[in-house]
Amino acid sequence: MKKIKVFTISLGCPKNRVDTERMLGALGSDMVPAERTEEADLILINTCGFIRPAVEESVQAILDAAEEISGLPQKPLLAVTGCMVSRYGELNEDLPEVDLWLTTDRVDLWPEIISKALGRDFNAATYRRISTGPSYAYLKISEGCSHSCSFCTIPSIRGPHISRPIPALVEEAKTIVAGGIPELVLVGQDSTAYGCDLDDGTAIRPLIEELMKIDRLEWMRLMYLYPAGLTDSFLSFMAGAGRPLLPYFDIPLQHAHPEILSSMGRPFAHNPRKVIERVRKHIPEAVLRTTIIVGYPGETEEHFKTLMDFVEETRFHHLGVFAYQAEEGTPAAELEQLPDEIKEERREAVMALQSDISHELMEENIGRKVQVLVEKPHDEWDGLFTGRVWFQAPEVDGITYVSSPEDGPELSPGMIVEAEVDDCTDYDLITLV
């Protein structure tokens, strides 16, 4: 039977990427990657609909693909899936080039629907086609979100929080690691809420304990840890767990002033300093990452100063800053909005402050020996590779450049090597094996 060539674009968050990987795996071995849209029998675009720029990016990707195949004598099937479709429905009038629209509430049916549209028999497969290379893979532990933050569209798009069963997650993780991938990155909209929807004792700790037993798993990282879930009990467990669990804490705080946090509807106590103090009390070597929203409706100069003071005092290793976007259908969109220029000025101010902090923290590593997870050869420099140290999460943090002398070990993606930090930039490390 003829192989079906698939050209894939996966937009948005790692959770979306996992959906894409599962879908490609479920389509079976008859599906093979296409290098270009013009070569494809199927073009698959998994969209993001979280904020307006993401929607615009998704629409542009569809338009670009449609233009690239417009003159072909036999056009590929153009299937659009994901959060933008769930948020806005089928956009046939605006985008008539699309053959198939698929919403996230039917994600398990995507492969079967696509197979039928291609005129192929569907034989369900379970293998997930990892697209992140040989060094790491994401493990999505839950779907949806049950919080009601006033600025967020996720619950309306993805539905309430639903935890995936521990046995299924462990089996998936074993398959990934058996394929030679040394790092698992656990993701969910709120990972600390894992198990809250179940009555059988399922929780994030027993899941971690089971995953830590997997042979050849070198690193395990937890992302999206909401402050309310970072209890003394959980932090005490993390402090004593050891490898492969990394003392890396991605805590989406969003702001520091209690009035703004209250208006945002954030699901935790309104003093983020207490959360940071609690983490550092249990795990002094913890590396902290957070995300901040500036320019939220009602944010005054006083509110912003509190936020800047908090960032300066806390000294996060990694920090993402976003100018607030008013999203249709959210309570915050009904509030009086700040001018875009003020939002951007504040975003730039936080980033400038964080750049200085990050550079100082990176400099502390110069002369130290570190373990580097090698990811891929550098695009331009022979013998130079890019990778990460344990306190750098994939895609969102800085990277580590690593090279080996002529008489040194040969580097290859997926291996972990010991290297010495020779220099740094604001966000990246430069190392030599």
Domain segments of the chain: what residues? 4-117, 136-363, 369-432
CB 388 within 8 A of CB 399: yes
The model's pTM is 0.93
How do beta strands 142-143 and 162-163 pair?
antiparallel
Residue 416 identity: I
- Among 139, 143, 172, 148, CA closest to 159: 143
- What six digits make up the tokens of 204? 């994030």
**Which residues of 349-428 form beta strands (DSSP E)?**
369-377, 384-388, 400-403, 416-424
CATH number for the domain running over 369-432: 2.40.50.140
Q: DSSP state, 245?
A: B
Instruction: Answer whether CATH 3.40.50.12160 is correct for domain 4-117.
Output: yes
Question: Which pLDDT score, from 0 to 100, does residue 199 have?
Answer: 81
CATH top class, domain 136-363: alpha beta
pLDDT computed for residue 269 by the predictor: 58
**How does 159-193 read in b/e, with b if 16+ C-beta sit within 10 Å?**
eebebbebeebbebbbebbeeebbbbbbbbbbbbb
Rounded to 5 degrees, what are φ and ψ at 350? -65, -40
CB atoms within 10 A of CB 157: 23
Quote the distance between the C-alpha of residue 73 and its chain's center. Answer: 38
Distances from the Cα of 401 to the Cαs of 384, 411, 427, 428, in angstroms?
Answer: 7, 12, 11, 8
Is 82 in contact with 16 (CB distance < 8 Å)?
yes
β-pair partners for 9:
45
pLDDT at 92: 86
| Regions of the chain where pLDDT drops below 70 | 1, 267-269
Q: Give the SS3 label for residue 206.
A: helix
- Give yes or no for a contact between 18 and 187, defined as CB atoms under 8 angstroms apart: yes
Report pLDDT for 1.
Answer: 64
Determine the Cα–Cα distance for residues 390 and 419; give it in Å rounded to an integer. 13
User: What pLDDT, in 10s, does the model give residues 65-83?
Assistant: 999 998 888 899 999 999 9
